[in-house]
């Protein structure tokens, strides 16, 4: 009896292989044949109709994994942990980890550049940022309402500035202008400034 293939698992395997190729040579270096070889498969066409479909799946999968990680980090925080502490944990996911910079951060940045000239891709990014902004704004709102942030803090504006800074710092790390350590320190400093109350001195 032929071995049953998990179709979705193979698609994710192909996406992860694509990330690695992008990490080494950028989006332009990606072909269905090379991705299949990187994934250890004879062909990617059994799982994707064309290169565009494969590229889109790889991006969606990347976003889903990142979003799931952030939601899990929030869900795993004990109820007694202040929202400002949870926010400090979340920024570690807003700024890709050092390991993820080898491929996933380059995938994110590469697609983001394409989104400036591709309306459908831009719409996708707008949706992702809106949903992530709601999550981060909710944490800022909870911090403000529990005394962990200034009473006049605007949660939505705070979320916008934090996400924008995270994106900018990601690009800085990718081009070697900043180290991951200094980028994370800058993001943490910005968060501390947003959350600073009169009780903090």
As a three-state string, the secondary structure of 140-168 is HHHHHHCCCCCCCCCHHHHHHHHHHHHHH
CA 142 to chain centre: 22
Considering only CA atoms, give the Rg of the chain.
Answer: 19
Q: How far apart are CA 100 and CA 71, in angstroms?
A: 18
CB 150 within 8 A of CB 173: no
Task: List the CATH code of the domain at 62-200.
Answer: 1.10.357.10
Summarize pLDDT for 71-113 with one digit per residue, the tens: 888 888 877 788 888 898 888 888 888 777 778 888 899 899 9
Output the pLDDT for position 2.
43
For the cut 70, the answer to whether the pLDDT of residue 5 exceeds it is: no
The domain locations on the chain are 62-200
Q: Where are the alpha helices (DSSP H) in the chain?
A: 7-25, 32-39, 51-75, 83-94, 104-115, 119-145, 155-174, 180-195
Nearest-angstrom CA–CA distance, 146 and 5:
50
Task: Tell me the per-residue pLDDT of 8-58, one tens digit each, with 9 for 90 and over.
Answer: 999 999 999 999 999 888 888 789 999 999 999 999 998 999 999 999 999
Residue with tokens 């911090």: 143
For the segment 146-178, what is each residue's pLDDT rounded down to a tens digit? Answer: 999 999 999 999 999 999 999 999 999 999 999
Residue 4 pLDDT > 60, yes or no? no
What is the pTM assigned to this prediction?
0.86
Task: Decide: 14 and 54 in contact? Cβ < 8 Å.
Answer: yes
- In this predicted structure, what is the pLDDT of residue 90? 87
**Distance from C-alpha of 7 to C-alpha of 2, rounded to nearest angstrom:** 14
Q: What pLDDT score does 169 carry?
A: 94
The sign of the dihedral angle between the CA atoms of 111, 112, 118, 121 is: positive
């Amino acid at each position: 009896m032929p071995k049953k293939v998990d179709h979705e698992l193979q698609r994710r395997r192909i996406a992860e292989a694509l990330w690695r190729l992008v990490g080494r040579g950028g989006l332009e270096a990606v072909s269905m044949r090379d991705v299949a070889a990187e994934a250890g498969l004879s062909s990617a066409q059994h799982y994707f109709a064309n290169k565009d479909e494969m590229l889109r799946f790889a991006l969606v999968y990347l976003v889903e994994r990142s979003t799931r990680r952030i939601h899990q980090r929030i869900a795993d925080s004990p109820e007694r942990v202040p929202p400002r502490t949870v926010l400090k944990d979340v920024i570690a996911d807003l700024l890709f980890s050092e390991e993820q910079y080898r491929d996933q951060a380059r995938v994110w940045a590469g697609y983001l550049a394409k989104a400036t000239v591709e309306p459908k891709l831009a719409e996708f990014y707008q949706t992702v940022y809106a949903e992530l902004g709601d999550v981060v704004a909710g944490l800022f709102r909870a911090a403000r309402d529990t005394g962990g942030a200034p009473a006049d803090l605007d949660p939505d504006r705070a979320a916008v500035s934090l996400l924008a800074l995270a994106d900018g710092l990601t690009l800085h790390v990718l081009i070697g202008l900043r180290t991951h350590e200094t980028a994370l320190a800058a993001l943490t400093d910005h968060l501390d400034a947003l959350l600073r109350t009169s009780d903090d001195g």
